[in-house]
Chains A and B, each alone.
Chain A
């Protein structure tokens, strides 16, 4: 009781501050054409009540963080014996993980036949973002290079297929690798000028690069048909069989699913390869890694190139799925969305990125009422995750080695 009063006072003061802060923008709405004013007092009360609650929660969480406690204490909710099972070690065993993966794959394969066309379409989009997330993951989480121009490579892939298909009648299956490789070349092209840049500068230059690409696409009418975009792009063909629209939706779902599996496989192999280790070394300390013989130029360029590769691949898929592309689909917002997926899911963790993509893309689809507030929520997610759980939902398990008493070295993982 003694503690409650000062806490209430603190929340009250914060709430008053926010009422003051949001007053002109949230309460007054002016119409400059008709010169009328709308006073929305209800908003003021809503802000007051919400800040009272949120500021209290915020302070509790900050206190917990300062004490180094878990933000959500599971032992209070779940029975003890369930907690004793360490999920990570269980899934690390092949006996468990293999069947689990098989079940998951079977479910994924059966999904389009159980769910309708609409659901399949949404899930295809989510799967495309899984690939995008895994690709960007290479650049940001492994390489430690904050790349904000990811949408540009995505656009390169989409426009490659769009233009080659509508003008030269090129097949989807030829355009798929072509778009990916072209995006990769663009990645290298961008990589050269930014080789010397670090952190913040890199972020802003890549962002600038993406904006340049978008503006060029918008203005170069002969090449990209400007803001009106390219339409009537062909859907992927299946050995010359004519597919109806619902069939091709299912077909595209399977193509995307196959590519997700491929991406997960390749990215995991990359991570544990010599190059993957070099990326992580570069991220941790570029000077030290260079001293250890890591060629920074090649390492950086390959991170950009391999990240862009997946974006190009998804770009082609995207063009084939929507059959219509225009520059408005490749704004900075798209890059931020993918960043959001990685941050929410867990930087560097494959499972995290998959879950992140599913949450970020599927949640707004099912919570239609929230669609309006989607971007507001994404912004808050970025801030809250960074403050309270920088590791994401499923933090990456980092490789480490444990010395046993008998002198053997054993590989193990820890957070």
Chain B
């Protein structure tokens, strides 16, 4: 057993886990409030990455230093992803608020396909290289190339986002309203909470986080195409289910478990079956603990 190799797999697993967490939080928040799997959530992540790519390439030509380009590209990506999330909810989900669950799910699948092909037609179907925006950090040279500066940024940003989200949900008025809506929509309406507004806000926050994840992972991997959202979205969903869908700490825990499993799986078993591990875990979890690691099992009232 090579300890160095193990450590490397661990770091790469944590990197994946951080990104999954950023996407999974959007899933879990939306699910908690409207009980809908937002199938198109992965596409929001992809759109975030594409927006950042476009902005960064345009800015790079002006000769701006990399770190500013990164900051601006990230900000624009967050704004655009949030805007797409907001619009998507208005078009595909709001008219179906009182429709059967199956209708909303099919509409979500339609949205996902629409957005994928919109980017495919407007941009390209090929992989495009994503500019390296984060400069090399000096202090990492001692680590022997184990940890890249992008990975450090990923960990830091993920941690900050998690803390901010927790604060938002626990201590602000809007967070309180979100928790109330998740618990009981009718009651929340009765105490004067604007449900439509809360749902829109949830979509906006979730989409913004997906954009952060998209930009970070794209600058780590170095290339993107229109299809990246689909598989990332599915895996983040697996992570959310793994932790117990609807539970925010659960989504984070599930993401790290999934990231590490995938990383060790590809490192020690086979890299051909990278995507299979996530689905196998999903099936196992749903069979043995359908409510997830941290989810409460709900008794159905008849």
Contacts and interface: CB of A to CB of B under 8 A. Distances in A.
B167 interface: no
B288 to A, nearest CB: 10
B150 interface: no
Given A25-B123, A32-B53, A212-B279, A376 B129 contact: no
Contact of A32 (B129, B275, B278, B290): B129
Interface string A32-69: 11010100000100000000000000000010010000
Nearest to B61: A35
B110 A216 contact: no
Contacts of A196: 286-287, 290
A386 B104 contact: yes
Contact of B61 (A37, A199, A212): A37
Interface in A167-213: 193-194, 196-197, 199-201, 203-205, 207-209, 211-212
Nearest to A27: B122
The interface centre, meaning the residue of B91, B128, B283 with most chain A CB atoms within 10 A of its CB, is B283
Interface in B93-114: 95-96, 99-107, 109-114
Given A193-B283, A208-B279, A21 B113 contact: no
B47 A375 contact: no
A21 B80 contact: yes
A24 interface: yes
A16 interface: no
A391 B187 CA distance: 32
A379 B131 CA distance: 31
Given A32-B128, A197-B286, A383-B91, A375 B279 contact: no
A57 to B, nearest CB: 13
Contacts of A379: 110-117
B58 interface: yes
B273 A219 contact: yes
A389 B36 CA distance: 20
A219 B272 CA distance: 7
Nearest to B115: A379
Contacts of A29: 122-124
Nearest to B235: A208
A207 B55 CA distance: 34
Contacts of B60: 35
A24 B51 contact: yes
Contact of B121 (A28, A204, A372, A378): A372
A205 B103 contact: no
A193 B54 contact: no
A25 B37 contact: no
A373 interface: yes
Contact of B279 (A25, A65, A209, A383): A209
A28 B54 contact: yes
Contact of B113 (A33, A287, A378): A378
A212 B279 CA distance: 7
Contacts of A22: 122
Contacts of A216: 273, 276
B62 to A, nearest CB: 11
B116 A215 contact: no
Contacts of A336: 109, 113
B99 A208 contact: no
Interface string B8-37: 000000000000000000000000000011
Nearest to B231: A211
Contact of B109 (A65, A215, A382, A387): A382
Contacts of B57: 30, 32, 35, 37
Nearest to B84: A21
Contact of B106 (A33, A65, A382): A382
B83 interface: yes
A201 B241 contact: yes
Contacts of A372: 121
Contacts of A212: 276, 279-280
A188 to B, nearest CB: 15
A32 B241 contact: no
Nearest to A220: B272
Contact of B105 (A20, A24, A146, A387): A146
Given A20-B83, A216-B276, A383 B286 contact: no
B282 interface: yes
A26 interface: yes
A133 interface: no
A339 interface: yes
Interface in A339-383: 339, 343, 372-373, 375-376, 378-383
A32 B61 CA distance: 11
B54 A24 contact: yes
Contacts of B287: 193, 196
B203 interface: no
B77 to A, nearest CB: 9
A387 B54 contact: no
B50 interface: yes
B45 interface: no
Contacts of B177: none
A197 B285 CA distance: 11
Given A204-B237, A336-B113, A375-B113, 5 more contacts: A30-B128, A32-B53, A203-B105, A204-B37, A287-B300
23 contacts: A22-B122, A24-B51, A25-B122, A30-B53, A32-B57, A37-B58, A37-B61, A196-B286, A203-B37, A203-B105, A205-B282, A205-B286, A212-B279, A212-B280, A219-B272, A287-B300, A287-B302, A373-B121, A375-B116, A375-B117, A376-B114, A380-B114, A387-B96
Interface of B: 36-37, 47, 50-51, 53-55, 57-58, 60-61, 76, 80, 83-84, 87, 91-92, 95-96, 99-107, 109-124, 128-131, 230, 234, 237-238, 241, 272-273, 275-276, 278-280, 282-283, 286-287, 290, 300, 302
